[in-house]
Structure 1
Amino acid sequence: MTTPFILVSDCDLPGTVIEDTLRSAGLHAERAASPASDDLATLGADATGLVVQWAPITAEVLDRMPNLRIISRVGIGYDMIDVEAATARGIAVANTPSYCIEEVAAHTIAMIMTQARGLPAYDRAVRAGTWKAVDARPLAVRPSTTTVSVLGFGRIGSIVARGCRALGFRVLVADPYAPADGIRSAGCEPVEIPDAVAQADILTLHVPLTEATRHLIDAESIATMKPGAVVVNTCRGPLVDERALADALRSGHLGAAALDVFDGEPLADGSPLRDLDQVLLSPHAAWFSPEALADLPVHAAENVIRFLAGESVPIVNPAYAG
């Protein structure tokens, strides 16, 4: 019996945990020399499984991997994979949705509270010799009089919503796939996306990146937001039109933003977001803790192992077998 071959397209995490985990399960595993499509297609011509972090997995790449049965994403999002093409070719696509739920939710709430209490501005002022409590910028809110709108009520969004509610915020939730009763049971109010955006003092994003959600927050939607509102994004950079966001911050229509993810990463040196004091930036780090770092590559490899053993894995395209 031929040992299944698993190709690792790319991974910027330290070590060889993915390959080691696959090999310990009796699979043959190799990492590609580069994530270039030709390298992947050449080495992966006989691959049964593919583990991918950032490499674009297009229909053309899939056509050159005729034996492929499973793609496992090293991470939660999977917008670098042409899922429709994989489904059409009978290839399952799995992600790793549980490795950093606590971390991203905590990072999001930290960003919300940092901006809600004007901490960066206070810090700069104290360091500059100014001692003035009533000069908070952009905000110094009372939670009970402040509305947090959460777009997406999945694993992370639901924790953020409950956490904000526990702190006393009024919380609106917009998620067409979440039962309204479940949102209400968390002490939150179910609304449609335009209402959530328009009523938000603080808007936080927790939706998958699709063609429908790309630039969900654009100039048109920002124009409906309250003057001084704050945008928080720890999900996917392209959910926000960064140029429109920067324009709204410069004009003063929006009060602040807190961003962990960007349309292009690393954030470009020339990005206007770098020069705006009211923007809090982190380097796509919301996922990180030592525990999450250890879990992520193992989870990605175990998806392949369990799938080939006929066990349940977090498949994002259940129609692949249809």
Structure 2
Amino acid sequence: MTDQNLSAPVVVTDSDHPNLDPEHSVLDPAGIGLRRAQCRTAEDVIAQCGGAQVLVNQYAPITAEVLDALPDVRLVVRYGVGVETVDVDAATRRGVWVANVPDYGTTEVADHTMALAMALLRGVTGYDRSVRAGVWDYQVARPLHRLDTRTFGVVGCGTIGQAVAARAAAFGMRVLGFEAMQDRSLAGTPIIRVGLDELLASSDVISLHATLDSRSARLIDARALASMRDSAVLVNTARGGLVDTPALLAALDAGQIAGAALDVLDSEPIDPAVRDALARHERVVLSPHAAWYSEESFVRLKTEVAREAVRVLAGRSPRCPVNSPVVGGVTEASPTEVPR
């Protein structure tokens, strides 16, 4: 199999994956060609993706200018959940579907979230560092508390947020939740629905699972951090742009909060200066945008973007659209969405 068929209708704009074998396993039997680019800018996408009917996208920007320059594109499908790399409004106006894969790594992200939270709540990373440095003393992580005395705050109560809430409740923690979508039902979950201000002021763990958009950007800013308990910890496995990183560093430096566990940052790969500033804090835990990852979720993500390409190229709607594109002046109907 080759990723360099220049006439292939499906183009991966960019990818840090080692190969495209899972995508080929879906596309090859359907007789659909696949090619791989490595674009960083909108100009790269225009130059390298000519003739594409489907763009499979990781980080490269898909702007209105890109879509104008690539008029054959019918679908932009993202490797992952967020679609902030895509101008969705521009795609909608141009009759282009935008889709994502919201359910490929729910279990992994929820498990990773709890791993990060537990590392702080039980002092695991602090103990590990101290023992490696030759110190054998339980007091290096004081104070620690029983989990069933703690309150766990979930910001964004979609599928992942609810999965995290169930895990936190299983440890005996009281769970508060803030959800901007007022019509989202939380029935059957352990979540007590509250406003954001109450959640920030009352939680020992604030875990972020909101979608990143113009309303939620820098949701956790200096004001939000100042309203948190000085014993609270922040966990972010959603999107780096939800947090004002300079404000977080200032809050950590001032002791306004007790710690942070971050799988995502607003600039990735992490800027060395930001990495060093965060790493100097004993109660900061970092991972490299890996919460989504398992071998199983990796294959699921890659095969599902390929299946979306097959669906749209066959004239069907994608399984997980995030828009309803306008085609010939008529808005395409979106199928029932997968829970998000």
Using the size of structure 1 for normalisation, the TM-score is 0.92
Give the corresponding residue for 2:306. 301
Provide the residue aligned with 1:194 in structure 2. 197
> Structure 1 CA distance, aligned partners of 2:48 and 2:251?
47
Match among 117, 131, 141 for residue 145 of structure 2: 141
Q: What SS does structure 2 have at the residue aligned with 1:254?
A: coil
SS in structure 1 at match of 2:10: strand
Q: Tell me the residue number matched to 2:234.
A: 231
How big is each residue's C-alpha offset from its partner over 1:228-284, in whole Å with a ceiling of 9 and x where there is no partner? 210000111111111111111111111000001111112121111122111001111
Q: Which residue of 2 aligns with 1:23?
A: 28
3-state SS of the aligned residue for 1:148? Answer: strand
Q: Is the 8 A contact 1:214 1:239 kept in 2?
A: yes
Percent of pairs with identical residues? 40
1:208 aligned onto 2:211: yes
**1:57 maps to which of 59, 62, 65:** 62
Deviating more after overlay: 41-50 vs 91-100: 41-50
2:175 maps to amino acid: V
Between the aligned partners of 2:82 and 2:303, the Cα distance in structure 1 is: 17
Q: Secondary structure at the match of 1:222?
A: helix
2:127 is paired with a residue whose SS is helix
Give yes or no for the alignment of 1:317 onto 2:323: yes
Instruction: Name the residue aligned to 2:135.
Output: 130
Q: How big is each residue's C-alpha offset from its partner over 1:180-204, in whole Å with a ceiling of 9 and x where there is no partner?
A: 7x42521220012222122121100
RMSD (CA atoms): 2.0
Quick check: 253-262 or 289-298, which moved more? 289-298
Matched, 1:255 2:261: no
Counterpart position of 1:284: 289
How much has 1:148 moved relative to structure 2?
A: 0.8
Change (3 A) 1:192 1:46: same
Other-structure match for 2:4: none
* Deviates most, 104-113 or 38-47: 38-47
**1:20 Cα shift?**
5.4
Q: Match for 1:40: what amino acid?
A: V
Letter in 1 for 2:249: A
Residue aligned with 1:263, SS: coil
After the TM superposition, list the runs of 4 or more consecutive aligned residues in structure 1 that deviate by more than 4 angstroms: none
Does the CA contact (< 8 Å) of 1:8 and 1:19 recur in 2? no
* Comparing 286-295 and 22-31, the one that deviates more: 22-31
Show the 5 A alignment for 1:58-207: 58-137=63-142, 139-177=143-181, 179=183, 182-207=185-210
Q: Comparing 33-42 with 96-105, which one deviates more in the overlay?
A: 33-42
Q: Which SS does the other structure have where 1:270 is aligned?
A: helix
Alignment check: 8 A CA contact 2:100 2:321 kept: yes
Distance 2:44 2:255 in 1: 48
Quickly say closer, same or farther: Cα 1:108–1:46, change in 2 above 3 A. same
Q: What's the secondary structure of 1:301's corresponding residue?
A: helix
Unaligned runs of 5+ in 2: 1-6, 332-340
1:46-71 CA distance string (max 9 Å, x none): 32211111111111111111122111
Encode CA deviations 1:274-301: one digit per residue, 9 max, x unaligned.
2211100111111111112222211111
TM, length-normalised to structure 2: 0.87
Q: Retained in 1: the 8 A contact 2:91–2:325?
A: no
Following the alignment from structure 1 to structure 2, what is the Cα–Cα distance between the partners of residues 9 and 301?
14
Q: Secondary structure in 1 aligned to 2:34?
A: strand
Opposite residue 267 of structure 2, the aligned amino acid is G
